[in-house]
Structure 1
């Protein structure tokens, strides 16, 4: 069986640290933040 390609969406969303841990951005923290309370973000 051939090697599988990395999912291109996952490739763009996750980063590996030097120690091999996975870094990712948390959802719902990107835009329309002005009207939201800091507790909500």
Structure 2
């Protein structure tokens, strides 16, 4: 049986934490930030943890794990 490939977008976008959760960057930080207030920009800085429902889906796209 052939090896399963990891989706290349998953390798680039997600990191696995020690407790098994997935971290990802927040969307909407590239351009047009002048139209958003400071609170929006500040809260979307850094990374966030993916929801449990989506974590199972993303982990299926990386059959041999991440990192």
TM-score normalized with structure 2 length = 0.46
Aligned-residue Cα RMSD (Å) equals 2.0
- Unmatched segments (≥5 aa) in structure 1: none
- Name which structure has the greater RCO, CA cutoff 8 Å, separation 6+: 2
Structure with bigger helix share is 2
- Report the structure number with the largest CA radius of gyration: 1
Q: Structure 2: state its 5+ residue gaps.
A: 42-67
Q: State the number of aligned residues.
A: 41
**Divergent runs of 4+, >4 A:** none
- TM-score, length basis structure 1: 0.65
